Amino acid sequence: MHGLRASTVVLLIAVTAFLAPAPSIPAVAGPADPEPVSLVTLSVPDAAAMERLVASGADLTERVRPQADGSVRVDAVLTPSQLAALPEGVTRAAGQAPRAAREATTATQQDQVVVERAVWFKSRDGYFLSVEASSSAAQAATLTVTWQGRRGTTGRAEMIAYVDAGAYLGHQFSTPVPAADQPQRITVTSTGGGKADARVKEWPDGERPDHTGRGYQKDFVTQYMPPAQLNERIKALHRQFPKLTDLIALPYRTNGYRRHAQALIGTPPGAAVVITSAAYGSEGGNDLSVELVTPGTPNQPLRVTVNGKLITVSLATDGSGAAVSTAAQVVAAVNAVPGIPVRASLYRTDPGAGVMAPAPAVQLDDFLNAPADVSRAPAQVLALRIGERRDGSRTGVLAYSQEHAREWVTPLVTIEAAERLLRNHARDRATRRLLERTDIFIVPTVNPDGANYSFYDFNSQRKNMTNHCPAQQSDPALRNTWGVDVNRNYAVGSLTDGYFGASANCQSGTYAGPGEHSEPESRNVIWLAQKYPNIRFAMNVHSYGGFFMWPPGAYKLDGRVTLPRPTEQELAYFLRSARTIEQAIAAERGTVIWPQQTGPVTDVLYSAAGNSADELWYDYGVYGWDFEVGADLWNPATGTWEGVGFQPPFEEGHAEAMEFASGLISLIGIAADYRER
């Protein structure tokens, strides 16, 4: 979803086998081919190194894990070149980092220890304990937890200090620790002499899901679906349930699944030029070819001619008949031809002094591999509106997914929820109550262009397909780095406003775009909030990592100044609602969203400048939540929690869709009980 904790950080690589192969990327990249990517783990020791990593353009995921040495782990999608050029202080993690020695407090009195939260949960894999505490000695203290549980069970585990952007936020476990049985009491002791005891409560301990009647239908998704299938699915639901639905065409069409056709002529770093079609590849650019020839006679000038679809560059020659045209001269000559259907540019930062060699005709290519029946035109983003009274008189709930293209599970969550709501309306009293009392807006894919690119070309694509890069960053080998991070393109707490967690680098995974709301994808989401002011709740569905979050989602790095925090009453409402929603998620297959991953974005994840939930909350008063579906799975053989990735095998993706669809329906239930304060 967002960017990354600016804390003492270590990045952990997840299992790359979960990612389907990207068909257009060779194992060894040539001059015109993108580099392959891997999901990797890096070590970021402090806030300054984190800032350097974000500025470098690293594509950081949402799976963040604090470590015992005071660092944090997070998964990142990186190329070999990025790995080789990691910013100062950032290294690739190699297994569990050892515990660093901590200085004991020098205070003459013992430190004060406070237990902030001590909870247990039972998942399908057994009992686990999560503890959060703080010391008056801050990160200088080392805290240890011992516990007693049912049937005489006991345990012991050390806590780690969580320091974010220089601010001490308390101590916690890196991940929940296994317990032989239900923990009942804990004692936290400090190297500074402090001590605190507490009873252990159950988590999430929210309201139980509404009982569904006999014959309740569920399990409607059977595969990962590209955008065209998602749109057909909601169109079909609208046709089948016309009295309960409206189909809304959002006003801002996307760029489209299309690119300008290109060719790299020559061999960098010697002498090379990039030829780019004026038209998109699907609109004629792919039909063009370019050749470089020598006239075979001495003392000839540089000429460029166009013959139908063929552009011929006849290189200048010297007195011996040898070609003498430089790359810069070829670029200037091509661009000087009136009405020519291409433009030329130098290769990256090459000054163009190298002499071009003859080259046979090369056909331009947009490098898009989707079948011909996948539309290249600007996409119409659709929303399915569900409810018995869709007139603005009922509390509105917005559910939107796939702001990030590679998150294939997230649209399944919204589609599954829509199917359940409509197909159970006639037979299930609890479902009927939801549709009587709420007005639901479902957008399965906010970013259809990027999603198509992820399905058919580059499965790690995070951003949309609009290329704002200048020519020196727009040769074909860089095509997988283009686009805008839709969830950094909003107008509250943005990069423009000085907030951390987005980038001005057009190749960065968190590129915020040339300006707030520069992209149609973000404008469509905000249009819904403006057009339908009855929307009071929103769920932005992302993956992966197993988080449940709400505003504030961004801070300014200097002083860690966050966006204004909600009032205590509002925070209590966010948390109470979250525990109920998480109860519904856990009811599906025992997946529990960890307590330390439930809360405001800036407290449990990292700063994400310009994200959508912040704008919905601060500008429109919408309770804006974020799911990060795909919680870690416990491996009893290794005794570790393991990440699932963006595109797990469908069996796992299906299970995630089932449980988070239940969570989304639970949110709609909360909205059904909502009364304006």
* pLDDT tens digit sequence for 525-560: 999 999 999 999 999 999 999 999 999 999 998 888
The tokens for 466 are 């609009």
Give helix 409-423 / helix 650-672 axis angle, nearest 10°: 50
The secondary structure of residue 36, as a DSSP letter, is: P
CA 369, CA 356: separation in Å to the nearest integer?
30
Backbone angles phi, psi at 310, to 5 degrees: -105, 125
pLDDT value of residue 581: 96
> DSSP string covering 328-375, please?
HHHHHHHHTSTT-SEEEEESTT--S-SBPPPEEEEE-B----S-TTS-
Q: How many CB atoms lie within 10 A of CB 157?
A: 18
Half-sphere exposure of 10 (CA within 13 A, CB side): 20
**In the beta sheet, which residues pair with residue 466?**
none
CA torsion 579→584→585→591, rounded to 10°?
80
CA distance 363 to 351: 25
562, two tokens:
């966050």
Question: What's the pLDDT score for residue 676?
Answer: 67
How many CB atoms neighbour CB 649 within 10 A?
12
Q: What are phi and psi of 278, to 5 degrees?
A: -70, -40
pLDDT value of residue 29 = 56
Predicted local confidence at residue 32, as pLDDT: 78
For residue 531, give the H/E element and its range.
helix 520-531
At 650 the three-state DSSP class reads helix
In 10 A of CB 98, how many CB atoms? Answer: 9
Report the alpha-carbon angle 393-394-399, nearest 5: 130
Beta strands in 315-455 (DSSP E): 342-346, 359-363, 382-386, 395-401, 438-443
Q: Phi/psi of residue 293, each to 5°? A: -130, 160
In sequence order, what DSSP letters do the residues of 626-646 get, joined into one string? EEEEEE-EEETTTTEEE---S
In this structure, are residues 401 and 671 in contact, taking their beta carbons and an 8 Å threshold?
no
What pairing do the DSSP bridges indicate for beta strands 438-443 and 382-386? Answer: antiparallel
Cis preceding linkage at 552, omega within 30: yes
β-pairing, 342-346 vs 310-314, is unpaired
Q: Output the CA–CA distances (angstroms, integers) from residue 510 to 8, 65, 103, 311, in the order listed.
A: 20, 20, 36, 38
Residue entry with tokens 């955008």? 227
C-alpha triplet 71, 76, 77: angle, nearest 5°: 165
Beta strands (DSSP E) in 477-601 are 535-545, 547-550, 555-556, 561-562, 598-600
Q: For the chain, percent helix, then strand, then coil, each to nearest 5?
A: 25, 30, 45
Q: How far apart are the first and last CA of the chain?
A: 30
Instruction: Please state, in angstroms and rounded to a whole number, the distance separating the CA atoms of residues 521 and 614.
Output: 16
Cβ neighbours, 10 Å, residue 449: 26
d(CA 401, CA 362): 40
C-alpha distances (whole Å) from 465 to each of 231, 238, 262, 483, 517 are 19, 29, 16, 5, 15
Q: How many CB atoms lie within 10 A of CB 124?
A: 11
Closest among 607, 606, 626 to 616, alpha carbons compared: 626
Cα angle: 170, vertex 171, 176; to 5 degrees: 130
306: left (phi over 0), alpha (psi -120 to 50) or beta: beta
306: helix, strand or coil? strand
CA 662 from centre of chain:
22
φ/ψ of 298, rounded to 5, equals -75, 160
Residues in the chain: 677
Q: Which residues of 519-529 are buried (b: 16+ CB within 10 A; e: fewer)?
A: bbbbbbbbbbb
The alpha carbons of the chain give a radius of gyration, in whole angstroms, of 27
Nearest to 161 by CA among 180, 135, 130: 135
Q: Print burial letters for 269-280: b (CB count within 10 Å at least 16), e (below 16).
A: eebbbbbbbebb
Instruction: Enter the tokens of residue 164.
Output: 């974010």
Q: Give the model's pLDDT for residue 64.
A: 65
Q: In this structure, are residues 510 and 403 in contact, taking their beta carbons and an 8 Å threshold?
A: no
* CB of 76 closer than 8 Å to CB of 40: yes
Instruction: Provide the 8-state DSSP code for 317.
Output: B
Question: Which residues of the chain, if any, have pLDDT below 50?
Answer: 2-28, 96-108
How many other CB atoms are there within 10 angstroms of residue 313's CB atom? 24
Residue 538, phi then psi, degrees to nearest 5: -145, 140
Residue 222 C-alpha from the chain's centroid: 23
The reported pLDDT for the residue numbered 104 is: 35
Pairwise CA distance, residues 514 & 470, whole Å: 12
Name which of 474, 475, 477 is nearest 506 in CA terms. 474
